[in-house]
Amino acid sequence: MQHRMGSHSLLLDEYLDEFEDLLSEIEQTFLDLEENSSQEHLWDCLMRNLHSFKGSAQLMGLDPIVSVAHAMETLVSQCRQQGENIDSAMTELYFHCVDVLRDLADELGVSGTCYHDVSPVLRKIDEIVLA
């Protein structure tokens, strides 16, 4: 299914700049947490950035991006609540999500449309969250 923006297409340049800025920060914070998951401010920063990331996508009506960001939030929130360390499997899944998000942004930049199927990555996250 394609997700085309409606009346917000005029915001696309701002959105794509913000997308990359926030995603880069999210990536870096995740890597920092992998090194040291006891730093509460890093978890706060990650949650805040993920939430802003999702909020902008919601405003733009980009459901596939919202879904992936929401799943990433759920995953991080569960990991934090359970006091788990970030292991290599989780890191791999997280960066797979980041890759999927960048694919979506590329599609958006080129055609103004998101058509990448995000259901496989959402299923993978569900498997971990519901395990």
Backbone phi, then psi, for 113, in 5-degree steps?
Answer: -135, 145
- Which of 30, 33, 42, 56 touches other proteins by CB under 8 A? 56
Under rule CB under 8 A, residue 74 binds other proteins:
no
Under rule CB under 8 A, residue 47 binds other proteins:
yes
Tell me the site size for other proteins, rule CB under 8 A: 16
What is the distance between the alpha carbons of residues 100 and 94, in angstroms, rounded to a whole number? 10
Smaller CB separation from other proteins, 53 or 94: 53
Q: Are 100 and 118 in contact (CB under 8 A)?
A: yes
CB of 83 to other proteins, least distance (A): 19
Under rule CB under 8 A, residue 98 binds other proteins:
no
Q: Are 24 and 45 in contact (CB under 8 A)?
A: no
Instruction: Count Cβ atoms within 10 A of the Cβ of residue 96 and give its class: 0-12 exposed, 13-18 middle, 19 or more buried.
Output: middle
CB of 59 to other proteins, least distance (A): 5
Under rule CB under 8 A, residue 75 binds other proteins:
no
Residue 41 tokens, joined: 């401010």
Residues forming contacts to other proteins in the complex (CB under 8 A) are: 8, 10-11, 14-15, 17-18, 47-48, 51-52, 55-56, 58-60
